[in-house]
Structure 1
Amino acid sequence: MITASPRPAARPHTLTAPPSVVRSARAEDAAALAELSLPFVRSGALRERPVALYAAHATDFLVAQDADGALEGCVGLRSYAAETSGSTGPVGVLYNFCVAGHRQGRGVGAGLLHAALAGARVRALVALFTATTGGGDLFLRHGFAPASARQAPAAWADSLDPRRNARILARFL
């Protein structure tokens, strides 16, 4: 006896939306970054950041852009120097990771994460950290694992709002 409902036939790949292009953000993307992040801020998944902050830290961000130039996702990557004499090198933090609702589940987040991992390797980072209020499934599928605040850069870990109850995840490179 079959108990599962049949799945609809998969559409041919040519009928789906074209893949996003991942590129470095520019200061002029600041308003679009803030707008893209707004639904996640409203849900409590992201902290609110003013447009001026996005502009000032635009070089931290990678963006996924559709064929029409609209931003579909973003992630910030900030580097931190090694903090102790026993450290093996600098680490990074992924932050403000979001994908527009209509593009979720279509590989945009994975594309951004792959680009961020490549950027971390270019910077010779030894680990990446992130904090998530969600399940963190994308991170877990890409080699991240639960970590403690003691393992993360102190300045970043100290900035986390304990009321948000975020989980810290890390991937050692």
Structure 2
Amino acid sequence: MTTATPRPGLRSESVAVVRPAGPSDAAAVHRLSVPFVRAGALRDRPASRYARDAADFLVAETAGGVLAGCVALNRRPDACGRAAAVLYNFCVADGNQGRGIGSALLRAVLAEAGTRGACRVFTATAGSGLLFLRHGFVVGGEEEAPPEWRARLDPARGSRVLVRALA
């Protein structure tokens, strides 16, 4: 994930809606993700996978109806067998970064994780992770992360595991 900081002088465009994605959003989510894949911030996934996993995604649309960001959430047991969730494919389109869209997506996905019964949320980032840290994530937790997810992390990417407990 690439985290952007608010840029002075930009007009704040609010998120009109953060909503669950549907199969019809798959192509747009794929297109949104491609620049982040090219930059090495996201894993490459075929367009068909976005359609298959559409139920994992939340999307953010601007007031103008433009798909501005996405995030996916997958529930799975952690290494101790407790309910956990993994946040993945989190991105905000370049022209929309620094406008609160990432924060809106993150708040929504954390609420969804809680609704799904997760006691902790894990993610991995090759970037600074500042947005995650501002929202209560801490570095670490690799040993407690869901084993099948942890096994798929690519050490060559230099990703750090972050975790957040849910109340």
Q: Same fold (TM over 0.5)?
A: yes
1:129: which partner in 2?
Answer: 122
2:46: which partner in 1?
Answer: 50
Larger mean Cα displacement after TM superposition, 66-75 or 92-101:
66-75
Q: In structure 2, do the counterparts of structure 1 residues 18 and 83 end up closer, same or farther at CA, with 3 Å as the change threshold?
A: closer
1:157 aligned onto 2:154: no
Point out the structure with max Rg over C-alpha. 1
How far residue 123 of structure 1 moved from its aligned partner, in angstroms, is 1.0
Tell whether the 8 Å contact from 1:146 to 1:170 is kept in structure 2 after alignment: yes
2: CA distance between counterparts of 1:116 and 1:52?
23
Stretches (4+) displaced over 6 A: none
2:64: which partner in 1?
Answer: 68
1:5: which partner in 2?
Answer: none
2: CA distance between counterparts of 1:19 and 1:112?
9
What are the within-5 Å matches in structure 2 for residues 7-26 of structure 1? Answer: 16-26=12-22
Q: Which residue of 27, 30, 33 maps to 1:34?
A: 30
1: CA distance between counterparts of 2:78 and 2:134?
27
Tell whether the 8 Å contact from 2:78 to 2:147 is kept in structure 1 after alignment: no
Tell whether the 8 Å contact from 1:20 to 1:108 is kept in structure 2 after alignment: no
2:4: which partner in 1?
Answer: none
1: CA distance between counterparts of 2:74 and 2:12?
33
Q: How many equivalent pairs are there?
A: 159
1:4: which partner in 2?
Answer: none
1:103: which partner in 2?
Answer: 96
CA RMSD of aligned residues (A): 1.6
Q: Secondary structure at the match of 1:168?
A: strand
Q: Which residue of 141, 157, 162 maps to 1:148?
A: 141
Structure 1: gaps of 5 or more residues: 1-7
Q: Secondary structure at the match of 2:15?
A: coil
Tell whether the 8 Å contact from 1:62 to 1:112 is kept in structure 2 after alignment: yes
How far residue 149 of structure 1 moved from its aligned partner, in angstroms, is 2.0
1: CA distance between counterparts of 2:147 and 2:78?
11
2:112: which partner in 1?
Answer: 119
Code of the aligned partner of 1:40:
F
When the two structures are superposed, what TM-score results if normalisation uses the length of structure 2? 0.89
How far residue 83 of structure 1 moved from its aligned partner, in angstroms, is 4.6
